[in-house]
Structure 1
């Protein structure tokens, strides 16, 4: 009976929704945790271009990381329009990708996720041309084109091939390819660091055979894991560069001995929070320091203040905010 139910469930799911709907229904997939700062994303939409070769395209079809990634974003950034574009073409090197790159980013806004270079490593290992330097230069050109188009770039590290046992010709070839992938990843990380870009470190996580459908492509769970890695990097980029300036209600409220204040900064700034009573008298500064861009929570003591209604007055980035706070003892 259990087998029949599973078969009917899989039949019910469309091929394009097989990964997310079916796996979620069977309890094998869960949504990743949302960033506390997701509520402060300042744009009305999140547009994501994914560019690369077969892993970006989705092999074996219809599996891909774009669909779960879109679901993760929609779940955490509620009320925002989410578009995820797939510009993956199986078998391409970075040189071939450059030919179609301009068309892929034309009239696009938002973020671009770059995952390309495995086929370069294969080509180099097989003596068919190319080099690690040329591969890195090609990716650099993509980055510069994307930045010129005002896109926010995130680089993905390349996953290794699964290495077969033994020391035969095929095993040696795969090891050679992986050594080249490692060299390319080192250069990609250095490139990202030099340009201040986020890195989705896919290679460091995709090390389990259970995440692969063949020697290099992810299976359903592998694509889910890959989507989580991209999602983390996307969140980091948003927290650092795409939050509006705002404050949240302190909690607990009413406060007893302490309360926590939360706020977001769109860029680094001094932060000053003063406390006023209901009559408008300034009772002094309860927090003052410097903070970087992002979402912050500070704990302040309320022990010395008598029960009553108070006003928290925030000053940062030439903005002023107020929140009502109640103290009870």
Structure 2
């Protein structure tokens, strides 16, 4: 008699997966499928799970009770609920900013609508409708990288700052880091610039394939547990031409990390910035150490 449906975002569904860090907009639609008007509608939506930030629940024309974890609408907050004519509908909307740092972050929603109709003998009949939905949140994913020297058991040679037409080697280190959920089948794709040489020295988690024709690198990371990281290092060589003098050459292109979130069974992505010859001052290098000199 009362059709109740839940939309997560813009999709009417009872199961949804939301990207890490995104707010959740929930709308409950109620349609009067009877031939008579219904009166004094009350909507209660209970929300559960481990991601509810009780200080950040926004409700349109209703009230969120943080003690009971219930969002409620009634005639006192919306006079359009006093009567709903046949074939007419009402919608109820609220938004939650999730605390999605929890492991296996999820949320459960149950919408309960109450109303009454008046029969021909003036006797009121109570009507009840329900709808349930669940939301899972994907994990965050982080892709990091840096250039260094003499790390990960490698020995690097050549001048720092790099000198035109002389060879300097670098150790590049990549890190793939999981967030609150385990990730599986993680893979990183990147490439070397034309002027950078692959030295085929690798040390770390997983395996690396290098294509000498396209200069593409594929790091098959594998599985990474929640809040853990996988790391690999490899050596490259740079012999800068004089055209690169006063520049800080890129050693490795953008890194694209792709993995499956085990909890939500969805594909998630992260991107790492290009890595150039400028090494960290925290590692003891002076500012400008990556700029090619004559």
TM-score range, shorter chain: under 0.3
TM-score (norm 2): 0.24
> As a proportion of its length, which structure holds more strand?
2
> As a proportion of its length, which structure holds more helix?
1
TM-score (norm 1): 0.22
Higher relative contact order (CA 8 A, sep 6+): 2
Question: Max radius of gyration: which structure?
Answer: 2
